[in-house]
Chains A and B, each alone.
Chain A
Amino acid sequence: MTRENSLLEVNDVRVAFGSKGFRKSPNEVLHGVSLDVREGETMGLVGESGSGKTTIGRAILGLAPVSGGEILFQGKRIDNLSARHRRSLSRDIQVVFQDPYTSLNPAISIGDTLSEPLLAQGYTSRDARRRVGQLLDRVSLPADALERLPREFSGGQRQRVAIARALAISPKLIVCDEAVSALDLTTQRTVLELLLEIQEQTGVSYLFISHDLAVVRYMSHRISVIYRGDIVETGTARGVTDNPQNPYTRKLLLSAPIAQPAEQAARRAAYEREFASTPR
């Protein structure tokens, strides 16, 4: 089943929540999803709220229960690992979450946040300190950031800290879950550039999850489109965004307004023609 060059493979994965209550049927949010990420590749995953795109990321990270199918990392099963094996896997798979305000503990200094994963992987505190210095430099944050608390930083800077934390132990795959969605336009662009630069230097793979097709198109080699727990289309970035085959992908594309009035007018006309909502 292993595909060539695959770093991560998600095969027919199902995730269901809410089977906790008595006689309550579980609510399946992923109905057999498959995708793969190659070494050094960015796989874009685009979908709207409730599509299950975040759940895929969480299943890969071991934060959501996999009820069917399998997840392979470098050919080995990683779904439903024991806590100990999962911890050792954290060397290879890391995450950057959407919200830079809640993904950093407000009471812990930046330096401690960054050295935490290093210490957990057995670094000595001196080595960890040296590595944290390199990391701050890597994400273009001043060295005096170490002593400070997250609230002293802007959203973009916090997201740089989150990226530095993900990079700390040189993982092979980083799951970016809406990593730039909470940022202002100009900040968003600089953070995306940073991610691209890091990929070029380190060869890390990204699973880049976003609701924004324009961002995914810019970041990804390939794109999968997910709709209500099913992947409806997968292809190269250019193929999916220039010539979408699935009607939902087309709708997604035509719904996103672009900042050029003439092109937007054409796009809207096409949208109204194809998907004109039928009022009443």
Chain B
Amino acid sequence: MSDPIPDSTAAIALAPTARPVTAFRRFLSKPLAVAAAIVLALVVLVAIFAPLLAPFDPGASSLKDAFGPADGTHLLGFDSAGRDVFSRLIWGAQNTMSGAGIALIVALVLGIPTGLIAGYYGRWFDSASSWIVNLVMSLPAMVVLLASRAILGPTVWVLMIVMGVLVAPSFFRLVRGIVGNVRNELYVDAARVSGLRDWRIIGRHVFIVVRAPIIIQVALVAGVAIGLQAGLEFLGISSGDTPTWGAMLNEAFQNIQRAPLLLLWPGLALGLTSASLVLLASGLSDVLGERGAPAARRRKNKNAAPADVVPSTSVPAPETRGALLSIRDLAVSYELADGSDREVVHGINLDIEPGEILGLVGESGSGKSQTAFSILGILPEGGSVSRGSVTIQGTEVIGLAEKKHRELRGTVVAYVPQEPMSNLDPSFTIGDQLAEPLRVRLGLSKQAAKARVLELLQMVEIADPARTFAAYPHEISGGMAQRVLIAGAMSCDPDLLVADEPTTALDVTVQAEVLSLLRRLRADRGIGVLIVTHNLGVVADLCDRVAVMQQGRIVEQGTTEQILVTPEHPYTRQLLGAALDGVDARPEWQPRSTEVSA
């Protein structure tokens, strides 16, 4: 809560790695948060050096000066007892901040270790502590505080300890929730296998993850603590001798008719401090929360840069355009955080004739999914087609109005995604999810839609359509889910199916069945398919033609036979060379001495 700026500069000086600099820079780029941090730093400094800064004793009263105006030495005048308002304000900072500090320390000491233990070990400790926490949280804070004042006496510090106990559950719950997730991370398992003791794992691997959320929570809870404390004092709960902002408010309020200005100073101090804490918390949560993501994105884009791909290897565009799908000079760009653009697909050409299956092959980051998304007009946030043309059955789809595009997606082109399970809504039955678009788009009645869905489920070779219709997504297997999604894609009787890694998440025996299904759909209905995949075996099994994509360019294109049997581009050869299909099985094991000499 104290000034974060010296800390961060120290970190930069010690370890000149990228992280502290960027986190600190990101913080600096948030003017509100920086202003809040400066205000808080000032308040803390004032609180610490109150004895030096305050010109007068905050308790020294001279009744003749009561409500006296400001003058050269008494900057803010006198209060009802003739005490110096400015000095009381400064001492109030110290008392208010220490009060909040005590509450925070108590809350942290109680909340964090218990949260760590409950989250990491679970079992009886988790049940017992959660039960207690729920009990504490169900208590009305104000009432408990008033009651403890009656029992324990009017000392502010004791009340602050009680308040610390009351806010401890917020830390407990935060820590326990995060730790419960972290415990199942593979790196925690790896640490256990490495022979680390539990307390080391908790201290290093687990605590480092909860650190940032705790810092944010501290700022928020400090604001709450200051507010509650002031509220108590305003109600007259404190003894009244100690100068605090809340007590000053109380006193000023009693004299609001005579000297309304007295209310202003403590109110301003409280308001500024609380607002700064909230702003700082939100700034911190932005800075610490987004840690990692931008760097990863930058990196990906760097990979996608055309650095080591020779442009001349791009396949030239054929004269005639494909009747079903035709892509000419398509480029996709992403807008970066700094406002510049990064191109991830650098002008590619593709054609699909009706009834043809084209495989788009490449490794991760090659831009193959971006190409598929551009055809469908579903590029993620920040991405856009920067040039080129995509036609589906002769209709240009780049720059097409969203409404028209949606119509096209509903009738001519359909999409089969990679992760079947995450594309089904767990709270609706399969039947509902398939029937709804039919009712909305084709205006079918409930009965007609159901009949059509059963028909579709039968078409994708689901053994018991009626049962699947009534099932929820969690009740069916991954392979079944992919069939359901294919059924959904086929519901509008499309001419073009765009499938993005449709079998990657499936077991190989299930993959074989889904591939059979796609072949049969093509044979029976003559649909064209663009299948995006990294698996050359899938290509060999299913595709008529193949386009090989590397770093945003198509480096080679041809029939499946050409590409897989007589590849010309070095990258295609490299891909095929990495496949383990033709490689001999490992010979039998020999005792070590002979194997080494062999």
Contact = CB atoms under 8 A, between A and B. Distances in A.
Contacts of A109: 17
A165 B194 contact: yes
Given A107-B208, A257-B512, A260-B582, A40 B595 contact: yes
A198 interface: no
B186 interface: yes
Given A186-B574, A203-B592, A48 B508 contact: yes
Interface stretch (A66-74, A125-133, A146-154): A146-154
B192 interface: yes
B301 to A, nearest CB: 14
B440 interface: no
Interface in A101-150: 102-109, 116-117, 120-121, 147-149
Contacts of A261: 540, 560-561, 564-565
A16 B180 CA distance: 22
A277 B190 contact: no
Given A38-B589, A103-B190, A238-B585, A280 B508 contact: no
A91 B536 CA distance: 40
Contacts of A262: 565
A49 B588 CA distance: 27
Interface string A16-41: 00000000000000000000001111
Nearest to B539: A259
B295 A277 contact: no
A103 B186 CA distance: 4
Interface stretch (B69-77, B136-144, B195-203, B397-405): B195-203
A258 B509 contact: no
Interface residues of B, number: 72
Interface string B95-108: 00000000000000
B458 interface: yes
Given A186-B574, A186-B575, A257 B538 contact: yes
Contacts of B458: 280
B318 interface: no
Interface in B523-580: 534-541, 560-561, 564-565, 574-580
A147 B20 CA distance: 12
B507 A120 contact: no
B541 A257 contact: yes
Interface in B170-206: 185-187, 189-198, 200, 204-205
A222 B589 contact: yes
B89 to A, nearest CB: 41
A5 interface: yes
B578 A189 contact: yes
A11 interface: no
A63 interface: yes
A261 B194 CA distance: 45
Contacts of A168: 194
Contacts of B591: 5, 39-40
A277 B461 CA distance: 9
B586 A214 contact: no
A228 interface: no
A10 to B, nearest CB: 17
B534 A49 contact: no
A256 B507 contact: no
A5 B194 CA distance: 25
A93 interface: yes
B194 A97 contact: no
A215 B535 CA distance: 14
B481 to A, nearest CB: 13
A211 interface: yes
Nearest to A114: B194
B292 interface: yes
B209 A63 contact: no
Nearest to A177: B186
Contact of B578 (A185, A213, A236): A185
B463 interface: yes
B585 A242 contact: yes
A271 B186 CA distance: 37
Given A185-B579, A261-B564, A97 B515 contact: no
B575 A185 contact: yes
B295 A152 contact: yes
Contacts of B364: 155, 184
Given A189-B578, A241-B585, A91 B540 contact: no
B151 interface: no
B363 A184 contact: yes
A116 B196 contact: yes
B264 interface: no
Nearest to A87: B195
B513 interface: yes
A200 interface: yes
B586 A237 contact: yes
B363 A257 contact: no
Contacts of B391: none
A222 to B, nearest CB: 7
A171 to B, nearest CB: 10
A259 B535 CA distance: 8
A50 B485 CA distance: 22
A271 B515 CA distance: 12
B580 A214 contact: yes
Given A95-B190, A185-B363, A108 B205 contact: yes
A214 B204 CA distance: 39
B529 to A, nearest CB: 16
A99 B185 CA distance: 10
A260 B195 contact: no
A156 to B, nearest CB: 10
A242 B431 CA distance: 43
Nearest to A101: B186
Contacts of B198: 83
A184 B534 contact: yes
B412 to A, nearest CB: 27
Contacts of B538: 257
Nearest to A83: B198
A14 interface: no
Contacts of B185: 102, 105
A268 B511 CA distance: 12
Given A41-B589, A106-B292, A188-B578, A255 B189 contact: no
Contacts of B586: 42, 217-221, 237
B296 interface: yes
Nearest to A93: B193
Interface in A204-226: 211-215, 217-222
Contact of A152 (B299, B511, B578, B580): B299
A194 to B, nearest CB: 14
Contacts of B535: 257
Nearest to A278: B463
A234 interface: no
Contact of A277 (B209, B507, B516): B516
B135 interface: no
A90 interface: yes
A255 B540 contact: no
Given A221-B588, A257-B512, A104 B187 contact: yes
Nearest to B363: A184
B186 A97 contact: yes
Interface of B: 15, 17-19, 185-187, 189-198, 200, 204-205, 208-209, 292, 295-296, 299, 303, 363-364, 458, 461, 463, 478, 507-509, 511-513, 515-516, 534-541, 560-561, 564-565, 574-583, 585-589, 591-592, 595-596
Given A87-B195, A120-B197, A185-B579, 9 more contacts: A49-B478, A186-B574, A211-B508, A212-B508, A217-B580, A218-B585, A237-B587, A238-B587, A241-B585
Nearest 6 CB-CB pairings of A with B: A257-B537, A90-B195, A221-B589, A117-B194, A259-B536, A255-B512
